[in-house]
Structure 1
């Protein structure tokens, strides 16, 4: 049983666990059971499975926003800001295997509309675009669509660490640096 006292949070946590374990075919009844709430109670918080999945997306987005959307540090160059972002994203993906798998699953099997996804992740995506545009203006990042460059960085990190997580429980500092260096090498000007 989850020890999270807030029912809504328990439901979201249960849905996230079951989506990782069983995919989107998990039933609302199974989610309610996993959350230790009555199925009817679950519907008091989420009117439909789509709404519940949107809640899970929103929670993942909030975690990403909190950890990765830090204001620019005026003492750092735009290149250093990109490097800091890469390192924070590596840590964000590595530290919670379930969250990383959930993000990959939701990203590849969306149950919500593209418009909802844009609304939920829009601020996070716009932050990445602005960071890349600033680095491009500084001449530190290669020319190209900032959206594609930030998507490449995030996808490269997620996929590399997903494979690594299959055989390792700890990400050695040298390997973490290698991932960061490879990301930077791919986008530098």
Structure 2
């Protein structure tokens, strides 16, 4: 049995592309063809379509965690760390239109349980919650649920950039800064 990480990544990437293009109406055979693997080989990695979709969610969570959950710089205040997080999240969402569409599709058509979502995205979500809680302790952020505030920021960025992406023009520096400043204004004390 040929079980290689490269093949697994090709399968996840193919599934991601087809989910963006066709939703979940794509067959395992179509995913295998898109990935350049035999359908039977696909089942060496994912025993069902549900397992493959969990793999897609997991890969997205890994990318988000790797890109956005960085070790805090002790020289920076909680406010500075949060501003970096917001700017990095804007860049993460804007930099890959397909990934943004995939995330949007999966978020609007949840295919996993709340418990699975918490397990898969927990490290990434907890990072932002901890940043906000630290900012509240230092007096830099308004009071309120850190969970709700973190969710608001991420949703505001994704939705704003989704609408902005309807234009063929690149995101300007002024627009990027505006999104960052609006998110900051929503949580600053």
Classify the TM-score, shorter chain: over 0.9
5 Å-filtered alignment, 1:145-164, equals: 145-164=145-164
Aligned to 2:26: 26
Aligned to 1:60: 60
Q: Please give the per-residue CA displacement for 1:19-76, whole angstroms capped at 9, x wherever unaligned.
A: 0011112111111111111111111110011100000011001100111000111111
Deviation of 1:168 after TM superposition, in Å, equals: 3.2
Q: Cα RMSD between the aligned structures?
A: 1.1
5 Å-filtered alignment, 1:129-140, equals: 129-140=129-140
Runs of 4+ in 1 over 3 A off after TM superposition: none
Looking at structure 1, the residues matched to 183 and 140 of structure 2 have their Cα atoms a distance apart, in angstroms, of: 13
Query: Which one is further off, 150-159 or 102-111?
Result: 102-111
Deviation of 1:169 after TM superposition, in Å, equals: 4.0
5 Å-filtered alignment, 1:73-152, equals: 73-152=73-152
Instruction: Please give the secondary structure, in 2, of the residue aligned with 1:143.
Output: coil
Q: Unpaired runs of 5+ in structure 2?
A: none
- The answer to whether residue 9 in structure 2 is matched with residue 9 in structure 1 is yes
Q: Unpaired runs of 5+ in structure 1?
A: none
Aligned to 2:48: 48
Instruction: Please give the secondary structure, in 2, of the residue aligned with 1:37.
Output: coil
Instruction: Please give the secondary structure, in 2, of the residue aligned with 1:154.
Output: helix
Q: Please give the per-residue CA displacement for 1:111-164, whole angstroms capped at 9, x wherever unaligned.
A: 222211111101111111110000011111111110100000000000000111
Looking at structure 2, the residues matched to 72 and 37 of structure 1 have their Cα atoms a distance apart, in angstroms, of: 41
Looking at structure 2, the residues matched to 28 and 124 of structure 1 have their Cα atoms a distance apart, in angstroms, of: 29
Instruction: Please give the secondary structure, in 2, of the residue aligned with 1:6.
Output: helix
Deviation of 1:88 after TM superposition, in Å, equals: 0.3
Aligned to 2:188: 188
Looking at structure 1, the residues matched to 53 and 77 of structure 2 have their Cα atoms a distance apart, in angstroms, of: 38
Looking at structure 2, the residues matched to 175 and 142 of structure 1 have their Cα atoms a distance apart, in angstroms, of: 25
Deviation of 1:107 after TM superposition, in Å, equals: 1.1
Report the TM-score, using the length of structure 2 for normalisation.
0.95
Aligned to 1:170: 170
